Structure 1
Amino acid sequence: MTRDPDDRLVAASLGLPEATGSRRMDWAAMPREVTARIERLLGSPVAHAISQRGGFSEGLAARVLLGNGKGAFIKAASSVTAPAVADFHRREIAVSQRLPREVPAPRLLDAYDDGTWVVLAFEEIVGHLPAQPWQRDELDRVLAAVTDMAEVLTPSPMNEAVLSKPRLGGWLAMADDAAVRGRVEKLSPWAANHFDRLAALEENASLDGATLLHGDLYPFNIMLSGDRVFVVDWPHAWIGPRHCDVVTLVSSASLSGVDPRPIAENHPLTRDLDPARINEMLALHAGFLLRTAAAAGPAADPDIVAMMTALGLASLRWLRNTQP
């Protein structure tokens, strides 16, 4: 039997890489003047701090227990050592301050930006990430929450001026970058054979819409607490078609062996959609992820590159399965 050269796309399950970012900062390594400022923000000294190892951003992510018995979740980054993350944090402050309370997101308690350090203090959510591979009851809960979230966030409650541009597309840029294109085509011979179609899907894609989208809706940005679903980490929010977040989420669920097509055919945000709109989103999503992963230099976090590669190939797999 001849082996399919694109077996990474047709395998029953690629599996979500277990490792996440490896460049977190410990609370103990934070400058004392910064932790003192955090304590002033929260109105109580920090009695205990547990640095969180998951996630992908450089900088601090820590759960803190205060002397007054309250808890909080702290994110911080330095513009000197992690300028991109600091800018993400600045944008997340702007977004979080404007999210309606009906949105299932942790409340921003306070924040500051002294030009070097950017700090966010959120209410602490006691819960857990969705199990991977996905358990279907948890996936159904999250899919229902995404539907409700789209209702609350249409029309968008905030102006585009405070938001990022959608992190989508890459096939058109790869047309003029032979080295990156070659690396992506090695990852996916199917993409190599359908490059012009992928570029056309990107070029003709419509991103018109009025919904505030999370823009990074993967399992590692979701918390389950009791019967509630919380969506965390909003720096990449943008305004566009209301189906985009659910397509991203369901595409990533295919890494658990979940067939995304019947979900899309029945979900309220996608069931009445022209299939061409889903194909466009899949192409845009895969293009961004695979181009970014392929262009990453030797200093890039290998865990992030592996995650982006897996998620990009998952979107290509769904797209491939829609083609005649």
Structure 2
Amino acid sequence: MTTHNNAFASGSTPASTGSRRLPWHALPSSVRTGIEDVLGGRVVEARSQPGGFSDGLAARLELADGRRAFAKAVDVAAAPGVAAFHRREAVVNGGLPQGVAVPRLLGSYDDRGWVALVFGDVEGALPVQPWREEELERVLRALTGLAERLTPSPGLNSPGVSPRLGGWARLAEGSRSVARLGVVAPGAVRELDRHLALEERLPEVIVGETLTHGDLYPFNVLLTDERVVVVDWPHAWVGPAYADLVMLLGSVAQSGLDPEPYAARHPLLRGVDPAAVDVLISAQAGFLLAAACSMDSADPGTDPRLERMMTALGLASLRWLSLRPRRS
């Protein structure tokens, strides 16, 4: 039976769908045609999908001949960062070994004004949040197999990217960011020196030879009857085999569950220095809170759901770290 601990509870998980999603009919006709050309058929129905926070289209498509697919597309001028992510995801996904449980990339469309990716459809659903124990155990088991398949990392025809970890030094640089951090996470301000010290160890801790997903939260996981499928790979980087596990366990804390029992028995953390895990937990919280604190709520370009999600997950990681034995 799942037991929720109030020490970890942090309120309801924000809705994960981005607030600037586009319906199929809002795409330029040239982009719709480009996606249909990749599919070799005419789209007769498109349903926008929950999950994730990126701008643009994210829809399951049904074709006139009955086939199904999933497509994402974004306006480069409106969201250049998302467009860059889409382009890198095409490279990463195309370079993953056969048999890895990821959506199959069918093709892409890029006219420099719009970028679209087209994948085989996955008949699955996002994990229920707060986590249900049976679904969580399925995902945790799958992470072991995923790390094994992606070690050593497959060669990708793409430059490496920095992991989405760390941010305490950026937060400490300005009085405004520290003041905002003090509002959302006053305990983190009191512990800022500790987090800065942990962050100094990050370069040595992230050394490894496993291709990690780099953004492994529940909204990037689909559960089918037979498989756990991990989607959205633009942030993949090469590091330790347990990095994705630690990231996912942060969402476990967000659900009101104690991540420690899961961490203690997981094979990917067997023999790993607990201090290295502390570094990753702190670095994960630092990235999330630095990103959230840098957002301007008054800016119409800010997605409030993304800001709430990053804050909530960052705070959950801090609570997890606070209840682990103090090593530094």
Residues 57-112 of structure 1, C-alpha deviations (whole Å, 9 max, x = no match): 10111111111211100011111111111111001011011011221100001112
Cα separation, 1, equivalents of 2:85 and 2:133? 32
Partner of 1:301: 303
TM-score, normalized by length of structure 2? 0.93
- The aligned counterpart of 1:198 is 195
Q: In structure 2, what residue type is equivalent to 1:281?
A: L
For the pair 1:17 / 2:19, whether they are aligned, the reply is no
CA distance, structure 1, for counterparts of residue 15 and residue 26 of structure 2: 26
In structure 2, which of residues 120, 124, 137 is the aligned counterpart of residue 123 of structure 1?
120
Residues in 2 aligned to 1:304 and 1:292: alpha-carbon distance in whole angstroms: 10
Give SS of 2:129's match. coil
Question: Partner residue of 1:164?
Answer: 161
Question: How far apart in 2 are the matches of 1:312 and 1:160?
Answer: 32
8 Å Cα contact 2:16-2:50 kept in structure 1:
no
RMSD: 1.5
Distance 1:100 1:177 in 2: 44
1:275 — aligned with what?
274
Work out the CA distance in 2 between the residues paired with 1:254 and 1:55.
19
Tell me whether 1:185 sits opposite 2:187 in the alignment.
Answer: no
1:266 maps onto 2:268 in alignment: no
Q: CA–CA distance in 2 between the matches of 1:15 and 1:34?
A: 37
Q: CA deviation at 1:135?
A: 1.0
| Other structure's SS at 2:222 match | strand
The answer for the alignment partner of 2:234 in structure 1 is 235
Kept in 2, the 8 Å contact 1:127–1:224? The answer is yes
On the 8 A contact 2:68/2:120 being kept in 1, the answer is yes
Task: Specify the SS of the correspondent of 1:284.
Answer: helix
CA contact (8 A) 2:8 2:254 kept: no
C-alpha separation in 1, matches of 2:165 and 2:227? 29
**1:150-161 equivalent positions in 2, closer than 5 A:** 150-159=147-156, 161=158
Gaps of 5+ in 2: 1-5
Correspondence list, 1:48-127, <5 A: 48-127=45-124
Q: CA deviation at 1:276?
A: 0.3
- 2:234 is paired with a residue whose SS is coil
State the Cα deviation string for residues 183-228 of structure 1 (Å, max 9, x = none): 1122222211111110010011221000000001011100011021
SS at match of 1:162: coil
Q: Where do 5+ consecutive residues of structure 1 fail to align?
A: 1-8
- Structure 1 runs (4+) greater than 6 angstroms displaced: none
**Does the CA contact (< 8 Å) of 1:198 and 1:283 recur in 2?**
yes
Q: Does 1:42 align with 2:44?
A: no
Tell me which amino acid in the other structure corresponds to 2:183. K
Q: Deviations over 1:240-263 (max 9, x none)?
A: 111110001011111112110111
Matched to 1:66, the amino acid is L
Q: Which secondary structure does the structure 2 equivalent of 1:65 belong to?
A: strand
Give the Cα–Cα distance (whole angstroms) in 2 for the partners of residues 21 and 203 of structure 1. 33
Instruction: Name whichever of 171-180 and 66-75 sits farther off.
Output: 171-180
Q: Is the 8 A contact 2:21 2:56 kept in 1?
A: yes
Q: Distance in 1 between matches of 2:94 and 2:156?
A: 13
CA contact (8 A) 1:172 1:203 kept: no
**Which residue of the partner structure matches residue 33 of structure 1?**
30
Whole-Å Cα distance in 2 between the matches of residues 230 and 159 of structure 1?
20
1:266 aligned partner, one-letter code: R
Query: Amino acid of the residue matched to residue 192 of structure 1?
Result: V
Instruction: State which drifts further: 86-95 or 152-161.
Output: 152-161
Deviations 1:35-67 (A, max 9, x none): 111111111111211122442010111111111
- Tell me the secondary structure at the aligned position of residue 269 of structure 2: coil
Which residue of structure 2 lines up, in the alignment, with residue 313 of structure 1? Answer: 315
TM superposition shift of 1:160: 8.0
Contact 1:24 1:53 in 2 (8 A): no
